[in-house]
């Protein structure tokens, strides 16, 4: 099992928003998606995930709705809103800028 990496602060919101652009997902689905697409590097535990979901919801970037899963279980599905997509754009741009800056520093010496 690959070592777990801590996320850069503030990136979790971005990851959640990005994940939800693919379509509505429940919390577990979001965590699983991030884990799989990061090839097990990024593991989001529910201690961070659910507070983050509540926070983002309060900000109006996502909405939550109880639905049936394909297995006929009740789960809360999160859907990104227009405001969420806009915010995602802002965060992606900010992240790219930050990432570039870090890379520049790392290559400099």
Partner 1 sequence: MTLLELFNRLRDRLRRDALARELDEELRFHRALLKRDATLGPSDDNDAIDHAARRLGNATYYREETRAMWSLGTLDEFLNDLRFVLRTIRATPAFSIVVTLTLALGIGTTTAMYSIVNSILLRPLPYRAPESLVQLRDVQKDGRETPASYPEYLDWRQRSSDVLSDVAVSYGSGEVLETPEGAEQLQGSHISANMLDMIGLRPLLGRGFRIDDEARSAPRVVMLSEPLWRNRLGADPAIVGRTITLTGFPYVVIGVFAQTPNTLVPSAYQWSHRRLPDFFAPLRLDEKNAPRGLHWLDVVGRLRPGVDLARARTRLAAMAVSIQHDRGATHGVRANALADALVGNYRAPLGLMLIAVAMLLVIACANVASLLLARAATRRREFAMRTALGAGRQRLVRLVLVESVFRAVIGGALGVALAYALVAGMRAWLGASVARMADVSIDARVLVIAVAISVICGLAFGIIPAARAGRSDIVRDLRDGGRGVMGGMSRDRSRRTLIVAEVALSFVLLATAGLLTRSVVKLLAVPKGFDVSNLVAGYTWLPSPRYADSLSQKAFFDRLLAELGGSFGDSHVTLASDLPIAGGTDGGIGVEGRAHAGGMGMKDMGDDVLNVEKRIVGNNYFGVLGARLATGRLFSSSDVLGAPPVVIVNETFARLVFPKESAVGKRVSFNWGIDGYQTIVGVVADLREGPLNRPSLPAIYMSAEQRPNSSMRFLVRSSVPAAAIASTFRAMLRKIDPTIPLVETETMDDVVRADTRQQRLSMVMLGAFACMALLLAAVGLYGVISYSVAQRTQELGIRAALGALPGDLMRLVLRQAMMFAVTGVALGIVGALATGRLIASQLFGVGPSDPLTLSVAAMLLGVVAVIASVVPTRKAAKADPLEALRAE
Contacting residues toward partner 1, per CB under 8 A: 1, 26-28, 31-32, 45-48, 50-51, 54-55, 57-60, 66, 73-76
20, 2 contact by CB (below 8 A): no
3-state helix vs strand vs coil in the chain, percent to 5: 55, 15, 30
Task: Between 14 and 87, name the residue whose CB sits nearer to partner 1.
Answer: 87
Nearest distance in Å: CB 78, partner 1: 10
In angstroms, how far is CA 51 from the centroid of its own chain?
12
Nearest distance in Å: CB 80, partner 1: 16
CA-CA-CA-CA torsion for 31, 35, 37, 41, nearest 10 degrees? 150
Question: Which residue(s) pair with 53 in the sheet?
Answer: none
Task: Between 18 and 35, name the residue whose CB sits nearer to partner 1.
Answer: 35
In angstroms, how far is CA 28 from the centroid of its own chain?
12
Task: Between 7 and 32, name the residue whose CB sits nearer to partner 1.
Answer: 32
Nearest distance in Å: CB 68, partner 1: 12
Task: Between 21 and 54, name the residue whose CB sits nearer to partner 1.
Answer: 54
Nearest distance in Å: CB 83, partner 1: 8
80, 68 contact by CB (below 8 A): no
């Amino acid at each position: 099992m690959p070592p777990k990496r801590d996320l850069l602060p503030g990136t979790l919101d971005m990851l959640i928003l990005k994940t939800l652009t693919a379509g509505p997902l429940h919390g577990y689905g979001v965590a699983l998606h991030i884990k799989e697409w990061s090839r097990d590097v990024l593991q989001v535990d529910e201690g961070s995930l659910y507070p983050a979901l509540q926070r983002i919801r309060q900000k109006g970037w996502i909405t939550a709705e109880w639905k049936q899963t394909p297995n006929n279980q009740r789960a809360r599905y999160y859907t990104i809103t227009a405001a969420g997509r806009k915010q995602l754009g802002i965060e992606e741009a900010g992240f790219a800028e930050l990432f570039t800056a870090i890379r520049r520093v790392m290559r400099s010496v």
